[in-house]
Copies of this chain bind each other. A is one copy, B any other.
Amino acid sequence: MSDATITNPAIRNGVDTATLFATLDAIKGDPELAKFQFRASNRWISGTHSESTMQGFYGAKQEMGHAAAFYTTADHPAILVGEDKGPTPVEFLLHALAACLTAGIANVAAARGINLTEVSSVVEGDIDLLGVLGLSDEVRNGYQQIKVTFNVKGDDADKLRQVVEQSRKRSAVYDVLTHGVPVSIDVVTG
């Protein structure tokens, strides 16, 4: 990797900018390539504990997949009558947000020729459980607010701030969390 970085100036922040720009050009030429469907399959284990598998997805006009299946568990902690076998479902929203913004920061910085040395973040979500517990109809079920604090180091501070702002403007997870998305639920029984 470090050899590649030295010999290939197209790789910046670990991002292969030549491939990134080639991908953008390919999609400009054929916008159908940009239509993706991501999927997760979940299986209940016991109580509030379940496990998801993420492998196959559709994109670039074909069925594709991760090189290997990824498995992720979720549970409630003991204080919420779970067995603490994994993070809570709502914590995964915070992870998804941080990871999406951070990937965008690395890509945007690389595309702009800006070097990063550190990107770290803390994401905090405030929630009043009177909603989900059915103890209040005034309190919403979900987070009331989410706060992200980034620590970004690298080239010029003003440029780094602009990179974070551009990442926010084009983040899929930020868009879903701030604007919502239609969700349909079908149930098959027996």
Query: Using a CB-CB cutoff of 8 Å, which residues 46-90 of chain A contact chain B?
Result: 46-50, 52, 54, 57, 59-60, 64, 66-67, 70, 72, 74-84, 86-90
Is B98 within 8 A of A90, CB to CB? Answer: no
A5 (CB) vs chain B CBs: closest residue: B46
Chain B residues, Cβ within 8 Å of A34: 128-130, 133, 135
Given A52-B98, A87-B70: A179 and B40 interface contact (C-beta under 8 Å): no
A6 within 8 Å of B by Cβ? Answer: no
Is B184 within 8 A of A148, CB to CB? Answer: yes
Chain A contact residue count (CB 8 A cutoff): 132
Query: Using a CB-CB cutoff of 8 Å, which residues 98-118 of chain A contact chain B?
Result: 98-107, 116, 118
Chain B residues, Cβ within 8 Å of A89: 95-97, 99-100, 103, 172-173
Chain B residues, Cβ within 8 Å of A100: 74, 89-90
A120 within 8 Å of B by Cβ? Answer: yes
A74 (CB) vs chain B CBs: closest residue: B99
Given A44-B120, A128-B36, A177-B181: A96 and B90 interface contact (C-beta under 8 Å): yes
Is B172 within 8 A of A127, CB to CB? Answer: yes
- Residue from B16, B45, B121, B126 in contact with A81 in the complex, judged by beta carbons closer than 8 Å: B16
Q: How far is the CA of A97 from the CA of B180 in the complex (A)?
A: 13
Chain B residues, Cβ within 8 Å of A164: 185, 187
Instruction: Determine how close the nearest CB of chain B comes to the CB of A143; give it in whole angstroms.
Output: 5
Instruction: Determine how close the nearest CB of chain B comes to the CB of A109; give it in whole angstroms.
Output: 10
**Sampled A-B contacts (25; CB under 8 Å):** A27-B133, A31-B130, A31-B136, A35-B129, A38-B127, A43-B119, A46-B106, A50-B98, A59-B79, A67-B84, A72-B87, A74-B99, A74-B103, A89-B97, A89-B100, A101-B185, A140-B175, A141-B170, A141-B172, A143-B176, A145-B183, A146-B182, A147-B184, A174-B183, A178-B182
